[in-house]
Amino acid sequence: MRKNSFYCQLHIMKLSLFKLYLHTIIIGNKVRKIYFYTKKRKEYLPFEDEEANTKAKQILENIRENLNLPTYIINDWDNVYLCSTGTIVEKAKSLYIKSLESTFDLKNTLNDLTAKEWLTETVTVFAQKGLGASNKDAQIEKLHPAPYSFQDVARLIRFYSKEGSHVLDPFGGVGSTAKACAYENRRCTSIELNPKYHELSIERILKEVPDDYLFKNKQTFLNGDSSKLIKTLPNDSFDFIVTSPPYWNILETIDHKSKERLESNLDTKYSDSDDDMANIEDYNDFLDKLCGMFDECHKILKKGKYMCIVVSDFRKKDRFHLFHADIAYKLENLGHFRLKGVRILHQRHKSIYPYGYPFTFVPNIHHQNVLIFENIK
């Protein structure tokens, strides 16, 4: 047993020395750190050339000093190396973060993700993530009749913006987007029509975001009609827009879910305001006003940046509305936004109700459509 233990320890020591070798080169009696990696297929290899590593060190120092790098890279700088698919240091366009086994492209002006993270976010289906109804930080959220998880919107924020970016949510609700921005080091402007939800949004940030989060106090809340307030915001002032608008007036429908909320003394509609789009009687009129407001956002969103609209299709009486398709068609035809794609958010924790049973088919809709638009001005 002792002999086996000795060989095991010897093997571990060899592995440790090999790892040290990967990060250093020995020239004479001097030990020099590796600063340059090359990528061949899926493997990252240290480039053992003294001159190349000297140049790479200088380039890395210049990058750190002059580029606005993501916080996670700065905090892990000892594990960051210049990286290229070739051996010419001057042509290197990415950083290799060894602890993550992935690279960050220095030309990435959209987000702060590594190549590995970026690839995952191109999959068109992703699953809902939430705190759970009993969590202490979910109590304000559930006071709203149609909230969405701050964790889900945070995922969109991470892909379509960089740290420090300005994000707009024109239908702020109880501040899910603002909370996500506080956690992800972004600045949110959250517009909410209902004074009750406006106040709850502010309370939510105060209660649910830790005080040591740098962007906790950098969130802005506006109480009013978004179709009017966005016209007062400066042009080209936002890097990303994300929201979940009202689904017309379907909250007026009395079903199993609304009965449960009534029994719990919870709101079953957004408001009674005449400015509330959810109170528009005609569906086409509602679509016109909603898409007109979204189209107006092209002025305040920077060119080439994105707007994500999170919606679900729905059934109203005996008609099923392809809400996501109606928005996509009407908004794109207005000429300022181009539809880039749709992602499906699977609402895996949603309750199932016996709609239509036992007479007719009525779907339990357990997904939302994330419409992704690019501002083409």
Of the candidates 311, 314, 310, 309, the one whose C-alpha atom is nearest the C-alpha of residue 364 is: 314
Domain with CATH 3.40.50.150 in the chain: 121-375
| Contact criterion met (CB below 8 Å) for 177 and 244 | no
Mean pLDDT of 312-318: 88
Q: How many residues would you count in the chain?
A: 377
Mean pLDDT of 31-60: 90
pLDDT (0 to 100) of residue 18: 47
- Structure confidence at residue 15 as a pLDDT band (50, 70, 90): very low
Domain over 121-375 is classified CATH 3.90.550.10: no
Non-local (6+) Cβ contacts of 323 within 8 A are: 247, 248, 311, 312, 313, 314
pLDDT (0 to 100) of residue 255: 60
Q: What is the pLDDT of residues 153-175, one digit of tens each?
A: 999 999 999 999 999 999 999 99
Q: What is the pLDDT of residues 245-288, one digit of tens each?
A: 998 877 666 565 655 655 565 655 677 888 888 889 999 999 99
Of the candidates 268, 265, 255, the one whose C-alpha atom is nearest the C-alpha of residue 351 is: 255
| Contact criterion met (CB below 8 Å) for 222 and 199 | no
What percent of the chain has pLDDT above 70?
A: 84
The region of weakest confidence among 111-115, 147-151, 284-288, 344-348 is: 147-151
pLDDT (0 to 100) of residue 2: 42
Give the tokens for residue 276.
């509330």
pLDDT (0 to 100) of residue 7: 47
Specify the pTM.
0.86
